[in-house]
Structure 1
Amino acid sequence: MWGGTDITPNAQKLRALVALLALRSNTPVQVPEIVDELWGDAPPGSAIPTLHTHIYNLRKLLANCASEDDSGEVLRTEQRGYVLRIPPDAVDVHRFDRLAQEARAALGRDDPERAADRCLEALALWRGAALAGVSTGPQLSAHVVRLEEARLHVLETKFEAQLRLGQHRDLVSELKETTRTHPTHEGFVRQLMVALDRCDRRAEAIAEYRRLRGLLHEQLGVEPSASLKRLHQELLVTSAAPDRAPSPSHLPRRLGDPPAQLPAAPADFVGRGEELDRCGRSLVGEGRGTGSCRVLVITGRPGMGKTALAIRAAHRLRPHFDDGQLFTDLRGSSRRPAEPHDVLGGFLRAIGAPVHHLPDGPDARAALWRANTAQRRLLIVFDDAASPDQLQPLLPASDRSAVIVTTRAERLDLPGSTTVAAVPLRVDEGAALLCALLDEPTAEGANLEQLVVLCGGVPLAIRSLAGLLRASCASLLHPVVLRLAPGRPESSTGRKEPCPR
């Protein structure tokens, strides 16, 4: 369609040319690529002249449909090829990709309503199979495969969003139809099992797993994925003990990547090699069979860089925890520390729990958290913890998970925990930090080391001083040392040197 007019060419080769140029709009398509798409490995001798004819006819077709407001040539010759210059949203594929991206982003922000709307808008752009009525060559065939995979992913995202909105009863029939069309797609089967379970049709959910397992055995000779096996086991356990605390089978498995909430690692982090090595030894290794997670407590006075050390260690250890990483500020040093009940709500939503299915009571919410983390490998950073009582309900119930805690308290009595003290930086480490913050190659190393000593090696003090120096200039480094150092020399008039401004 162009300006509301259907301009689809009748000639198959011209259709394929339009499709290729539109799919790669605003990007030059080389002549050899077009020839390969239209004629394959054995193009005729007249391929190039025929292509020129197709281009002429296409330009004529576009010119006839252009409005008076259109400016410039739509189909241009560039870089030994051709490029179709049109707005991205003028091509349904590009609009679909944009909407799909917005849907995934909304789901990541725990906005299932917006995610569902974007998915429905994206799926409405489909009016049949991709590139129906076009004779596809190698490139267009690859596009067809990609588009179909993208469509299925958007459909999966839509189901996930609707499950979070509590629409499981409305989804059962659509999910059943989808799983029959794609019988070995584990994502759809998993969502159908969750929807059936929430409708109190647990036996049917278990039957769906067994149907999929039989198909995978028969057709591919493989087992279902570990996550689907875990969901099946949870359904069996819940069926055997219906009066238990809420099971993680009531939580939809989150699509896409696991939660990754770690703040960005400090770019100017220096030193702490011994402390980082100790963090790694304490938190990484095989499960101990105790059922309790590993806990590392980083203690220290304010300004010692406890949070920076925790985040740096977490980023180094992240590959060992493939079920996700969580971060929260417990505000233990503030007048209003974070409530464990609220923290658990955020964590459960981050790993896939819909808002409508979170229990209100603190004990029930803690029980749901323990049940849902029992088989996971999570890394959690609790910044600025107040006390063991604040932390205890938040600990995951898995010896494959690990926790890093920062606190101003001298100690936190958590069973089995390891304590690392954040001490002042060494002089060389502090000088490296100050140099990185100043970004001033002319700064004298001796002055930097003196400043670090005068700051007591405290990272926050070093950063504050760097901010003051950046606001003035590097030439004031020496006067600053003189000002801060005890027993600084006096001027010829008998007065002490003034503090630099």
Structure 2
Amino acid sequence: MDAVDSGASPVDSRGHLRIDLLGPVRARRGDSPLALGPVRRQAVLAALILRAPAFVTYRQLLDDVWGTEPPGTGHRVLSSYVYALRKTLNGASAGPVHSVIHGGRGGYRFVPGGARTDLEDLVELVARTQGAKAEGDFDAALDHGGRALDLLRSEPLPGLPGPLADTERQRLARQRRTLHQDRAECLVLLGRYPEALDALMACLLYT
């Protein structure tokens, strides 16, 4: 999947890092898929990305991923997960200073721009949808909105544990409903009533 008119492909021969969260959590560097390990480790990565560029404390990460039942070993588990994620995600020549995950006193931060994500693509497409609709360019709004809905075809973050993943799934379900509503409105304004009805029916599926 290409970046949203960013001028560069998120998966290309130059070794750009791509991470997708709007379906099964996946990562690629260039054309090579990267193994992210067990779901709890994936949940730690997702939490860092979702909270980026903020610095995330150990306590916040434990709450995000384990909720009210954190592991007894606490931040030592997080350290082992982050170590494994760095080995997987960092480029071959990247040292600790150039890692996509920076450590600090009591927590970690996912470096802004360290990877292209489908969440970024979604944000851009939603903004373009709303902008085109506000300008009365309903065909463009349908195009951008359709591409955004394509990103939301699968369940986001499937199987990932923790309160943050649950909250994000609910937020994205609301986003999908809004996109279907916008699509229906644009179709009505274009006089395409049967398609508008289909969009409204799709919206009801996510209510």
Smaller-chain TM-score range?
A: 0.7 to 0.9
Distance 2:155 2:183 in 1: 19
Distance 2:147 2:33 in 1: 22
> What code does the residue aligned with 2:47 have?
L
Distance 1:48 1:19 in 2: 17
Q: Structure 1 residue 43 and structure 2 residue 98: aligned?
A: no
Task: Identify if the C-alpha distance between structure 1 residues 46 and 8 changes in structure 2 by more than 3 Å, giving closer, same or farther.
Answer: same
> What code does the residue aligned with 2:167 have?
A
> What code does the residue aligned with 1:99 have?
L
Identity %: 23
> What code does the residue aligned with 1:76 have?
H
Task: Identify if the C-alpha distance between structure 1 residues 36 and 76 changes in structure 2 by more than 3 Å, giving closer, same or farther.
Answer: same
With normalisation by structure 1, the TM-score equals: 0.33
With normalisation by structure 2, the TM-score equals: 0.75
Q: In the alignment, is the contact (CA less than 8 A) between 1:28 and 1:79 conserved in 2?
A: no
Distance 1:94 1:104 in 2: 16
Task: Map Cα deviations across residues 58-98 of structure 1 (whole Å, 9 max, x no partner).
Answer: 111112xx266999221101353211114288111122122
The equivalences for 1:39-188 within 5 A come to 39-63=66-90, 66=91, 72-78=98-104, 80-87=106-113, 90-135=116-161, 137-179=162-204, 181-182=205-206
Task: Identify if the C-alpha distance between structure 1 residues 20 and 69 changes in structure 2 by more than 3 Å, giving closer, same or farther.
Answer: closer
> What code does the residue aligned with 1:145 have?
Q
Q: Which has the higher contact order (CA 8 A, sep 6+)?
A: 2
Which SS does the other structure have where 2:109 is aligned? strand
> What code does the residue aligned with 1:106 have?
A
Per the TM alignment, residue 146 of structure 1 is displaced from its structure 2 partner at its CA by 1.0
> What code does the residue aligned with 1:172 have?
L
Per the TM alignment, residue 51 of structure 1 is displaced from its structure 2 partner at its CA by 1.1
Give the alignment's Cα RMSD to 1 decimal: 2.6
Per the TM alignment, residue 153 of structure 1 is displaced from its structure 2 partner at its CA by 0.8
Q: In the alignment, is the contact (CA less than 8 A) between 2:53 and 2:109 conserved in 1?
A: yes
Per the TM alignment, residue 106 of structure 1 is displaced from its structure 2 partner at its CA by 1.6
Per the TM alignment, residue 104 of structure 1 is displaced from its structure 2 partner at its CA by 1.1
Partner in structure 1 of residue 9 of structure 2: none
Which SS does the other structure have where 1:175 is aligned? helix
Task: Map Cα deviations across residues 123-182 of structure 1 (whole Å, 9 max, x no partner).
Answer: 1112411211312x1222111111111111112112222222222233334433543x25
Task: Map Cα deviations across residues 30-78 of structure 1 (whole Å, 9 max, x no partner).
Answer: 1111111233223233122111111111111112xx2669992211013
Give the alignment partner of residue 39 of structure 2, picking from 1, 5, 12: 12
Distance 1:80 1:114 in 2: 46
Q: Which runs of 5+ in 2 are unaligned?
A: 1-26
Which SS does the other structure have where 1:82 is aligned? strand
